[in-house]
Each structure stands twice: as C-alpha cells, then as structure tokens.
Amino acid sequence: MPGCLAGLSPPPAALHLLLRGRGRSRMAFSAAAPSRAFQLRLNPLTGDSEWLVVDEAEGEDAGAAPPQTQRQLLAATSYLDMLNDAARNRAYRRAIEAAVTDPSSRVLDIGAGTGLLSMMSARALGAVGGECRGSVSACESYLPMGKLTRKALRANGMDNKVKLFHKRSDELQVGVELDSPADVLVSEILDSELLGEGLIPTLQQAHDSLLVKNPKTVPYRATTYGQLVESPFLWKMHDLHSNEANAADGVWLTPDGMENIVSVKLQQHAMQCDPLQGEIRLLSEPFKVFEFDFSERPESQRENKITIKTTGDGCVHAIISWWVLQLDSDGSIFYSTAPRWVRQSSITDLPQCADDMKDWCDHWKHCVWFTQGRGASVMKDQTLSLRASHNLTSISYQQLNANDEACNGSLKGDHLTLLPERIALYGDRYWRSALITAIKNALGDRSLQTCIVADDSIFLALLVSSLSPSSKVIAMFPGLRDTGATYLQAVAKANNFSIDQIQVIGKRAASLSTDDLEHKKVDLLVGEPFYCGSEGMLPWQNLRFWNARTLFGSMLSEDALIMPCKGVLKLCAMSLPDLWRSRRSLKNVEGFDHSVVNETLGACGDLPGEQQGPCLPYYVWQCGYTKKLSKVYSLMDFNFAEPIHSCFGKTKIEFADAGTCHGFAVWIDWVLDEKNSIVLSTGPDSRYWKQGVQLLSKPIEVNPAKSQLHVEASFDPSSGDITFCSSFS
C-alpha cells in the first residue's frame, strides 16, 4: 500500500494541481519517474495532510484486489456515475463510429478514464479494416485511474490495440509517444460548467502540437445556455444581509455599509436544480451564451453581450445554466445537461436529444450564477442586457440594467467567500436563534475569563464576543486564519465589542499552547462545528471538534462549558432508485466488460460476499427521486464531556412504509445543551448540509409488517471513520 511520505514534497510543478476540487481530475502529480504519482490525503479529525505515493507496479496483477487506499481515492470520484450514464455512453459510441471511417485513422483519447472511449475507437477502427493501418493512443495522467484503465483494457483484449500513456496530454510529443499527429480526437474533459476541467487549454495544446489541421473531433461542438429565474431558496443562498436583517437578532455578519463583506464566490455553482422546479419562476426563455467548436483551436477568452426579453414580472435571483453537446459533425447526435423543465418543453430553438436523457445523473449538474443583493426586479416583456465572458476555466456574467450600467461591485481585502449553503445557514432565523439561546443560557450570570471558538465559525466568534464583553475570546480559525482576523476587525464595532477582546490564533488545535492562553483556564469551548474546506466531507468528519476538545483537555477549567455537549448519529431507511442506478455495479458498457472496475470504484450490487460500497456524502434532496421508508433512529452518541474514544452502536429499523429500500441516510444532530432542549439537525429535511449515504449490497423490497433492517456502526478515533454493517430479517 502507498505509505506516508514524511518530509517528502511533491515536485514544484505539481503544486498548482493540488486540490482542483473536480470529481474527475485528469491530472496527477508526476514524480521523477512516470510510474509514480503523489496524492494528498487529509486527516479529517486533525486537519493535517499527508502525501501518499501511488506506484504503477503496485496491484498491477489483473486478479489482485485493489489496495484500500486506491479504493478510497477512486470511490469518491464520479467515474462510476459517468459509466452508468447510458445516454452519454450511447451518444459517444454512435459519434465515434461516425468519425472513425478511414482505416488509416490515428485516434487520440485525452483523459481516458477506464478506456471506454479508446476501446470504442479501436473497435470502430477494426470494423473498417484499420487494425493494422490505423492506431489508437490514449493518455490518463491520474495514476490510480490509469492503473484501472490497464485492467479494463486487458479484460477486453484491448491492451494491444490501445497504446496507453500515464501522462498529461501536454507531456505527449509527436515523434516520441505519438508516431504522427492524430486526425481524430476523442475526449470527455467536461465538468458541470463545461470549462472547469481544463477543456480550453487542453484543446489549445492539442491543436498546436498533437493534431492534424482540421481534425475530426468527438464531441464536435458544445453550446452553453442560460435562463433567468426567481427562487426564494436561491436568494437565501447568496443574500445574507437581507436575511439576517429579517432575523433582527442583533448579530451582524454583514453590517450596513458592508453588505457584501460575506458572500458567495462570484462563480457558477454546480447544483441539481430539478428538485427546485416547483418553487422556481422562469423569467425568460433559454438563451445561448457561448459556442465552442472542438475542431478548431479555441480562444482563451471572449465576451458576449446577450439581449434577453423577460417573460414575466418578478425578481431575477439567479441564472441557471447548462450545456448541450453536438457529438457529430452532421448534427444528429446530441447530449444535454438541461434541467427537466427545459427537456420537457417544446422550445424549437434547442437541439432535440434522445428520450432517455431524462435519467438522473450526478457527474454533471446544472450551474447557478447568483445575482447580487435582493436580485434584479423585472417586468414582463422588458429587454435586458447581459454580458457574459469566459476565461480558460470558467464562464461568468455581469448583470446590466436597462440603461447598460454595470451593477457589480468590487470586493475588499476583508471580504469572506463561503459556499451558498453556508450563506443560507448563516441567514437562517431558526439556526441563529438556537445558537443565540444556547449561548445566552450557557453564560447565565457567570463571569467567564477565557472562551475558545474551536472551529471557523464567524457567527460564534461575533456572538460570544458581543454577549460576554468581559471575556477574552480565542478564535482558532484553523481554515480562515488571517482572512478571518481581518474580517472580525472590520465588523467588531457594528457588533458592539472591542477587537482587543478577541484573538485569532489561526492554528490547528494541536498547535495551541498555554502561552496563547496567557496560562489561564478555558471556561467556554464552542463550535458549530464548521471547518472551512470540510463542506464536501461526511458529516461525522466534523467530529474534529471532539478531537480539539480532547487536545484542550488540560486547559479546560473544572466547570468548563462545552457546546455542543454531544453529537448523535442518526439514520433513516431510504428508497433512492436514481442514486442506486448511478452507483450500481457495471457489467456490459456499450459492449465492453467493466466488471473489473466495480470494487475499486465503490460500486453497489453483485460484489463478492455481499460487499457494500462505501458511505459517501450527498445532498440527499438533490439525489433524484427519494422516499423515507422509516422514522429517524439514533445509532450512536458522541459525548464531548469525555475525551475522544472509539464508539459502537446498533439499532433495529422497522419500516413505516412499503417500497424498495436501497440504503440509509446518516447524519449528526448536534445537541447544544445538557437538557437536550436545543438540537440542530443536519438531516435530509435541511438542504444546507450533506448527509452520508450507505447503499446496501442489493435493494430489498420491504413491508412495514414483516421487514426489519439491523444496522451496526463503529467509530475509529484514529482515522475519524465510521464503518457500517447491515442485514435484513
């Protein structure tokens, strides 16, 4: 297995690729030899990171089980979901067969993944008699994936028909790896926004160095579209100032005059928007934003001024966008990521896609661009101007009013950008009230000398400082660090406390010393808990708060208050047919056996020994069709009055409704007070948190009178992992 590289740094050239945040990164961290790659792994309980090394030779035997570390790396990606997207696979197969018609074709596949497109190309080449005259070359730079590519090629007898390189495409050279420039390019380097996986620079370099002039390409063209919408839910995800003004509780994360000091990042945010269809008002028809021709070298940046006629009165809170692929040059094969309401409409200006495009998938979502503030008020039949621009990796919008005046403002150095869900949470009246009540009750008539905010909660840092003006407040801010300190300084006066009262450490918990506390004991330890950068992780990885409480143990006073005082692991049996379909084990994918990749990619069903796939984080409300089949059960308690320790829990789920059980959703409820009267749930009824989803080894038809699901779970404090075991009776 890959080991921890103590003191070993990756090559400097690899640092900019570190954490791109994409589910299917096409690039790995190449070491001195091409057979080795670096992978960064985060310890969720400490915030520490370590470099792992992945060797090409390791586990190369086709019959060997993949190493545990490799399974963990790849199961959390969207490769499996992508390979279960039948409409995508079928469209690519048809387009490749239409493009590879010359027996002497030289095909290049960039970002090979499991090698599916490469194998399609080799099969198409053989069908026209090109096995001895043409060639198929592929590059997959993410070494853990590249190792799986070789297994899939061997399993299908394609290892001698596809030449695979564990390199980035910009590391390939004609005359070295490639015998001659390719005349057919196949690729799938697309994210939800289209450009975020490096489509433009990849195409530029390929056209400059790897392709003939006027090559055939699959896809042939991509077009991005947008639509103006009104949505109170999307408004709450970006307009914190208006929502905390409605809360009227005296805590100002965005004081008057600093309305945008905390906001979402000005970018498109990937999100499944179909569940919002019933609460969205469409204020325009879909409009074309940009068109990208893969057969030509793309420009690095462009601008486009779009004229839009509104279709109703309302307030534009967001632009929802998507893209449509034209995969063949004849314009007969399309794939669309459009929302359901667009696919079901009769708009004649949009390309017509196959009927099976309605299947839910998670590897490509819709994108949301939030308008600023309360949104833009419009009237029906009003003409608006919108300026869109793109750079190498993203598309952005600049809102314009009818008089063509820019509405965008500039951001200052004390500005904080947070994810939309956190903005919505910070503006949520119930959530704010619960924390305010819990802190007030905890303080009571006590005079506290030292308080620690153990996480990255700006809300708690402001709240404790304003409610306990005589206390010294230590804000750990392990993720926000100096940015958090600058922010607090900017808003201190508006929240009625002196900045001298609060000290930002900007360190992880293990780095705090008694010197930082001036050798005083801690009377109050609080956290939401929330750690910047952990939003996409499993819910229990916020038990980092418990680990911090343990590290602070000798610094706590005898009667120190800890909030939350405990966490409760909750679960609910669910019917999740769409999510199951996207995570099910692979067999025949367009004529190619993919069963060899199932275990490594964390597939569900048809695995040896009733194996379950991994528990993965999802916004359950975005997982297509969902249905609760049971009430909510408690599985395990984490008592923060005690040092962190291993835990075990079990429960018996009785079903309240009939249906197909695909698994269970798991989350943590944070109990703020010892009376258990104030509880903040992170379950699926709230749309601001991800839940863990554990899919079963196979779906089970359940009946309330007969079926029971037994679930056991254990928590490992050394890794922060919770493992589940389930069985039916």
Residue 303, strand partner residues: 389
| Per-residue tokens: 167 | 């390199």
* Separation of alpha carbons 102 and 130, rounded Å: 7
- Per the annotation, the verdict on 674 as an active-site residue is no
Residue type (1 letter), 508: R
> Which strand ranges, in their side-by-side order, compose the sheet holding 302-309?
302-309, 383-390, 395-399
**Which of 58, 140, 193, 197 is labelled catalytic?**
197
HEC-encoded secondary structure of 202-242: HHHHHHHHCEEEEEEEECCEEEEEEEEEECHHHHHCCCHHH
Distances (CA, A) of 625 to 241, 516, 574, 681: 33, 51, 10, 22
Q: CA torsion angle for 269, 275, 276, 278 (degrees, to 10)?
A: 170
Distances (CA, A) of 408 to 170, 317, 392, 411: 37, 14, 21, 10
Angle at which helix 116-127 crosses helix 86-99, to 10 degrees, equals 40
Q: Can you tell me whether residue 519 is helix, strand or coil? A: coil
Nearest residue to 679 via CA among 497, 434, 356: 434
CB-based contact 565:637 (threshold 8 Å): no
For residue 34, give the DSSP letter.
Answer: T
**Which of 58, 140, 188, 590 is labelled catalytic?**
188
E strand or H helix at 467: helix 458-467
E strand or H helix at 435: helix 429-443
* Separation of alpha carbons 460 and 239, rounded Å: 20
Q: What is the CA radius of gyration of the chain?
A: 27
Q: Can you tell me whether residue 22 is helix, strand or coil? A: coil
Contacts of 186 (CB under 8 A, 6+ apart): 92, 96, 99, 107, 108, 109, 110, 117, 118, 120, 121, 217, 218
* Separation of alpha carbons 74 and 603, rounded Å: 11
- Per the annotation, the verdict on 303 as an active-site residue is no
Residue at token pair 């003004």:
245
* Separation of alpha carbons 493 and 462, rounded Å: 11
CB-based contact 23:516 (threshold 8 Å): no
* Separation of alpha carbons 448 and 523, rounded Å: 6
Question: 10 Å Cβ neighbour count for 588?
Answer: 9
| Alpha-helical segments (H) within 333-398 | 340-343
CB-based contact 132:153 (threshold 8 Å): no
* Separation of alpha carbons 222 and 323, rounded Å: 7
For residue 405, give the DSSP letter.
Answer: -
- Give the residue numbers marked as catalytic: 188, 197
